[in-house]
Amino acid sequence: MNTIFVQELRVETRIGVYAWEQHLTQPLLIDLELALPSARAFTTDDFADALDYAAVVKRIQAFAADHPHKLLERFAEALADLLRAEFGSPWVRVRVAKVAPVAGVKRLGVVIERGERK
């Protein structure tokens, strides 16, 4: 299986179950690993055969800016669904973390994997 990865993508979003969290943006760090839908780019060296990393990042930023989810779990699930549907990835690993959400904690979050590893 061939993958691309994005590490420590920082986005600002409104997320959380408490009322105050719905009114203030807070940072999330997102790490992704996406299985490539094709291995052609490895032999053709043609951008048309590759997954556009910049397009992936831009789409994640747009998603984070406007989503209806309160829980990190649901945010991660919806992001995994989006990546698989829009970029044709057969497998994804999504890690989403809140930054300094609780005194003494640097990050906390969830990690999910969806799809088939080949």
Cα distance between residue 25 and residue 23, in whole Å: 7
Active site residue 98: yes
> What residues form DSSP beta bridges with 33?
5, 93
Cα distance between residue 1 and residue 61, in whole Å: 26
| pTM given for the model | 0.91
Of 58, 70, 98, 106, which one is the catalytic site residue?
Answer: 98
User: What are the tokens at 61?
Assistant: 């930023």
pLDDT score for 15: 87
Spans of the chain below 70 pLDDT: none
Pick the CATH number of 3-115 from 3.30.1130.10, 3.40.1350.10, 1.20.120.160, 3.90.1260.10: 3.30.1130.10
Rounded mean pLDDT of the chain?
92
Cα distance between residue 107 and residue 96, in whole Å: 9
Q: Domain segments of the chain: what residues?
A: 3-115
